[in-house]
Chains A and B, each alone.
Chain A
């Protein structure tokens, strides 16, 4: 008798709170993995950055020594300075893929015979692996046999060793990265353009808008969600530029194409790397930079939500 009463009471408790509990139950697996693989490691790497550890022996607490070393590398215009500078160049120039993607999308947003084929051809570079993109561009830039120098020679220019010259190497890699990233932005805008309201265009046309004014005042405001997503993925892409650098130059020549992510890998995990704490310190700096963008994205999403 009592047992039945108990069960009834339990059921009713769950019943009463079902509305509140259900979302958390559904969120639980995601939250758990997010904690284990994202949130906790963030704190762990901050903790690790205060130690000197070769990954094998005992870790030695060194306070902020790793950050101090980074500061001196900054002052000496050493590896850390170069990596940070290259990161900024990546962030700025990678954004070019947004307007480039927009214009290709506008160009392809028409109904002619075989447009599907052209669209998929333009999308193609995003489908192939970054490793392949890197290899293709490495051969393209090759100073002796590469297509680029054949082409420059046509105009009586060159030869240019893009990946062997510390002045050009970062731009060369970014250019290679823009190829697939532009395709990505293009797809985002193509879907966005499908959702553009034809009535508004019609209305704009009646008011005499065309060309640039039409694009700027009528089309672009309607593409805002697409632009926002393109911006987010491009920033993330720029900060993840690791694979292209690893394939094309390994950070060289003499370390001039490193970015923070690659530098971190090099000091902590590569063949000659044994400084886990130092790598963690670089990771923390990189995280702080990303945090600026994350905060901005969250803030603008919050504003968006409130607006509706």
Chain B
């Protein structure tokens, strides 16, 4: 530990000596690309960058905000040409293509500094590829079941914790003429969330990661068991009809109107549900139930990150910015209810008082012993994620096709992981 610190300090001193005569003063231009294009996150990020700029008056900071969806394709261009010094992205396999192509800067040196090493340890695994770290996280959020408490009360239901209770609850909801879950699978990934939970609860976190890494056959009996559990829900009419036509936002009104009672979603669904008029008395949250009592509970908690492109020109300032973003105070500030309304990654940060964030924080820190997954389309390679989520969607519409779908996914697996 001590020697490591000394080495870092020496490296830092060397680079400073090379760069500028004044030690602490950063100069030059710092270009930051952000995908936080929604109004609230955008304001949060711009305020954060202003605070950073105030600390470093010598820096000329230029911020570019790109539409969140467009960013996903544009990143391929701007990492190779006209490269910024800092860029947002996602953890785990989603950064793998850029790491392998040598387009992200290795920031293991930052992770060797005690401030980051000790406080961000929980996400170190998700930031690591080939034993090195490639960025720092700034926020994450829990997934789980958001439900209409008033309808549960009306039907005399309580929050379930086992699969049997879940099915019994759902049967009562269906009998009352409602659907248990709203979902919109037009853009596929929402079905990936259901698969994450059903598979992690049926076969455990490690098996789930093996499947994402292509080490297990899709025609394995354990995978089939996951789909059998899923089919139980589909056959009893748990999901709303025509979900393949809706986006996740278009599926919200079903819950608001009371045609469906629950939504398996990320915490970002809370804001639009509140805006649509649901009060905190009507809306509540529970952890996805246990299915197989032999496996430990594991959760999805997608992490958003900052990276330094390998072609960046002001890496010294970029590193300072990453330190700033990872610091406890900043993470408390940007993740509070007035800003992102999500969970800080830094262990020294404090979580907002919001009841969903509090529940999510407790769940992730004390009731997720199995591990924390990123999300299906971030854990699996992009191609496999695409093919499989299409399969999940088809399965949710035509559960009887399961064998054909799994055979197709197995063929895809053999092609995709082969090289």
Binding site for B on A (CB under 8 A): 52, 54-57, 69, 76, 78, 142-144, 161, 163-164, 249-250, 252-255, 266, 269-275
Contact = CB atoms under 8 A, between A and B. Distances in A.
Given A57-B101, A253-B394, A272 B186 contact: no
Contact of B242 (A52, A143, A249): A143
Contact of B419 (A52, A69, A161, A253): A52
Nearest to B76: A55
A55 to B, nearest CB: 6
Contacts of B242: 143-144, 161, 164
Contacts of A69: 415
A143 B244 CA distance: 11
B245 A272 contact: no
A253 B415 contact: no
Interface stretch (B168-176, B211-219, B377-385): B377-385
Interface string B378-419: 000011011000110110010000000000100100010001
A272 B377 contact: yes
A250 B186 contact: yes
16 contacts: A54-B101, A57-B100, A57-B101, A161-B241, A164-B242, A164-B244, A164-B397, A252-B390, A253-B394, A266-B386, A270-B73, A272-B382, A272-B383, A273-B383, A274-B382, A275-B383
Nearest to B69: A271
A75 to B, nearest CB: 11
A76 B411 contact: yes
Contacts of B79: 56
A271 B393 CA distance: 18
B5 interface: no
Contacts of B408: 76, 78
B268 interface: no
Contacts of B69: 271
A78 B391 CA distance: 12
Contacts of B103: 56
A56 B98 contact: yes
Contacts of A143: 241-242, 245
B397 A253 contact: yes
Contact of A274 (B186, B383, B393): B383
Given A164-B245, A275-B383, A252 B393 contact: yes
Nearest to A267: B383
B177 to A, nearest CB: 15
A67 to B, nearest CB: 14
A69 B383 CA distance: 15
Contacts of B76: 55-56
A270 B74 CA distance: 10
Contacts of B244: 161, 164, 252-254
Contacts of A272: 377, 382-383, 385-386
B125 interface: no
A46 to B, nearest CB: 22
B382 A253 contact: no
B108 to A, nearest CB: 21
A269 B73 contact: yes
A271 B382 contact: yes
Contacts of B383: 272-275
Nearest to A141: B245
Contacts of B385: 272
B382 A254 contact: no
A76 B242 CA distance: 27
A254 B101 contact: no
A269 B242 CA distance: 28
7 tightest A-B CB contacts, nearest first: A272-B386, A56-B101, A254-B394, A253-B244, A164-B245, A143-B242, A272-B382
Interface string B234-268: 00000001101100000000000000000000000
Nearest to A146: B245
Given A56-B76, A56-B97, A270-B73, A255 B390 contact: yes
B410 to A, nearest CB: 12
A76 B244 CA distance: 24
A57 B322 CA distance: 26
B185 to A, nearest CB: 8
A253 B243 CA distance: 10
A254 B97 contact: no
Interface in B204-242: 241-242
B390 A274 contact: no
A111 to B, nearest CB: 46
Nearest to A271: B72
A250 B246 CA distance: 11
A271 B73 contact: yes
Contacts of A56: 76, 79-80, 97-98, 100-101, 103
A163 B245 contact: yes
B92 to A, nearest CB: 15
A282 B397 CA distance: 28
Interface string B185-200: 0111000000000000
A275 to B, nearest CB: 7
| Most A-side CB within 10 Å, residue of B80, B100, B390, B393 | B390
Nearest to A56: B101
Contacts of A250: 186-187
B97 A274 contact: yes
A194 B402 CA distance: 59
A269 B382 CA distance: 12
Given A56-B103, A252-B186, 14 more contacts: A56-B80, A76-B408, A78-B408, A143-B241, A161-B242, A161-B244, A249-B186, A252-B390, A253-B244, A253-B245, A254-B394, A269-B73, A272-B383, A272-B385
Nearest to B401: A254
A285 B221 CA distance: 39
Contacts of A253: 244-245, 393-394, 397
A274 to B, nearest CB: 6
Interface in B83-121: 97-98, 100-101, 103
Contacts of A270: 73
A134 to B, nearest CB: 13
